[in-house]
Amino acid sequence: MPGSPAMVRLEGAAKQALDASRGRLVIGIGLFSLAFLVLGGRLVELTVIRSAAEPAVARGFNPELGAKTALMERQPIVDRNGQILATNLKIASLYADPRKVQNAAGAATRLVQALPELPVGEVQAKLASGKSFVWLKRGLTPREQYEVNRLGIPGLYFHNEQRRIYPQGALGVHVVGYTDIDGRGISGIEQHFDEQLKDPTRTGDPLELSIDLRVQHVMRDEIAKTIEYFNAIGGGGIVMDIYTGEIISLVSLPDFDPAEPGTASKESRFNRITLGVYEMGSTMKTLNTAMALDYGSVKLSGGYDASRPIQISRFTIKDDHPKNRWLSVPEIFMYSSNIGSAKMAVDVGPERQREFMQRMGMLNKPALELPEIGAPLVPRQWKTVETMTISFGHGLSVTPLQLATATSAIINGGVLHPPTLIKRPQGMPAPGRQVLRREVSDVMRKLMVLVVEDGTGKKAAAEGYLVGGKTGTSEKVNDRGGYNKKALFNTFVAGFPMHNPRYVVQIMIDEPKGQKSTYGFATAGWTAAPAIGRVINRIAPILGVPPVDENSPAMRQAMYVPVPGQPMPNFNTPTATSAVPANTIIKTQEKKLASQ
């Protein structure tokens, strides 16, 4: 009955039960909220605070760790077409706080099961050292990181960093160089531009080199084949744009994989093109002839008696393939006469010869964006004997880089452009200075074509690309200061296409051995020259150089070398006196001079 004492008591009990339930609910909600707060706080600690604090703690343990993060900001390096030469790969490195490792022996045993290449004794010693920071392994693979992580060993941590990788392997190692494990440049471009590559304001902006990987591949392939065929100890090559100084290819063999620099031999690390200095043999006759014509000490129509060797002091200067007669200037160059070259240099004189070599950049250490640059070996005294020997490539040692740079000036109109491994902006004129009269440069191109047409460099011909060049074979100096006749250093330096030159190509082969197919000969005409021809045939289409008809009247006229006493032929009329190649005209002049 409503309002009865029994009902009042019943309602009071129900209300008390309801109030109690509400209280328990509030307590439960509070407990759950507290639990969520604890879990959330722990999650923040693990994902945000711990991840941010670990490098800070590690830096406290090891001050160098902070510097190592600079590697994460290192710029990529690319070739002139944007192909990657060096870039970064994200990796994890494993370190430990030994103070937090509870069982060093047990932890070391378990860890070595995941990373079997680690010595268990060394790992145990590190974990038991009591230090606050020790590296265990740098550069783990994702699988290795997973295996270590699943062990759940207290006191082990991962530090996120990046590793420098070189997708092209050994292909550009002597140009690009490499870094150490902490991201410091050790050689090549990596060392020269170390600070710039680590500059955080340049992140993602690649460093563009002048190298063309396609040309680099061709050059390395042909040099490697030549070294193998002639059982040589090494070789190298360079391709240079003669109007900008840009180095399109630079190869030195043997080489090595920049990912494994610790396994590279001293010989493999040596850059033969920029660091090695050599007596360049008869390739120096290119400079000698240009020098004499530029000073005007001899004219193209002049010449010298090369009928007998020159005896001076204790030296005898003779020709390898003597003609035993008077030779014109074109013949001295084409037949590579030491006698004629020496007499030509004497007429210039020691002082002017030295001045010319200085002007052409042959007496100073060249400037290039590499730390591996060799300084030339210049004679202590520069008198008549030195003047003679330098004329045909002995007594002055230079780098192949210097020879290629000077040859570029000789065929480009006489402007010496400093070499560079950095891609030049289009439309911006390259720095340079006039070192040779343009008319001398024009003549030198034609004389270099003669060497390939009918001289010592016939095997360098590349049909359709009008190659001109000069051979050079020198004997290497032995330990006693004399020359080793069995240890040859061969060089061929060439330009193409010589009617409108654009590139210099130079190849050197170190200590080749004669083969049956070369009749036992191992000179530059048999070793380096054929390699030059093959390289030009392969790279000319890559570089956009169109082939031409080398035997057309217009081309023959462009390459005509005038000789006094001979009328200018009519190149458009196919008669016995028209379209006569320059070497034929010279031979005619030779007969006339011999009869006088």
| Residue whose structure tokens are 């590190």 | 126
Query: CA 543 to CA 546: how far, in whole Å?
Result: 9
DSSP per residue, 343-407: HHHHHH-HHHHHHHHHHTT-SSPPP-S-S--PPPB--SS-SHHHHHHHHTT-S-EE-HHHHHHHH
Q: What architecture does CATH give domain 69-208?
A: Alpha-Beta Complex (3.90)
- Can you give the pLDDT of all 596 residues of the chain as single tens digits? 555 555 545 455 556 655 666 666 666 666 666 666 656 555 545 444 444 333 333 333 444 454 444 445 789 999 999 999 999 988 889 999 999 999 999 999 999 999 999 999 999 999 999 899 999 998 888 899 999 999 999 999 999 888 899 999 999 999 999 999 888 999 999 999 999 998 877 766 899 999 999 999 999 999 999 999 999 999 999 999 999 999 999 999 999 999 888 889 999 999 999 999 999 999 999 999 999 999 999 999 899 999 999 998 888 999 988 999 999 999 999 999 999 999 999 999 999 999 999 999 999 999 999 999 999 999 999 999 999 999 999 999 999 999 999 999 999 999 999 999 999 998 788 999 999 999 999 999 999 999 998 888 999 999 999 999 999 999 888 777 678 878 999 999 999 999 999 999 999 999 999 999 999 999 999 999 999 999 999 999 999 999 999 888 888 888 887 654 456 766 775 533 333 344 444 444 444 434 43
Contact 528, 509 (CB under 8 A): yes
In sequence order, what are the beta bridge partners of 278? 398
- CATH 3.90.1310.10 domain span(s) along the chain: 69-208
Task: Please tell me the distance from the alpha carbon of residue 216 to that of residue 169, in angstroms, as a whole number.
Answer: 12
The string of DSSP letters for 527-584 reads: THHHHHHHHHHHHHHHTT-----TTSHHHHHHT----TTSPPP-TTS-STTSS--HHH
**Whole-angstrom distance, CA of residue 58 vs CA of residue 583:** 75
Distance from C-alpha of 245 to C-alpha of 423, rounded to nearest angstrom: 10
Residue limits of CATH 3.40.710.10 in the chain: 216-253+271-424+436-550
Bridge partner residues of 207 (DSSP): 77
User: Which CATH code, of 3.30.413.10, 3.40.710.10, 1.10.510.10, 1.10.3720.10, is assigned to 216-253+271-424+436-550?
Assistant: 3.40.710.10
Residues with a catalytic annotation lie at 282
- Please name the residue that has the structure tokens 């392939």: 221
CA separation for the pair 512, 242 (Å, rounded): 29
pTM of the model: 0.80
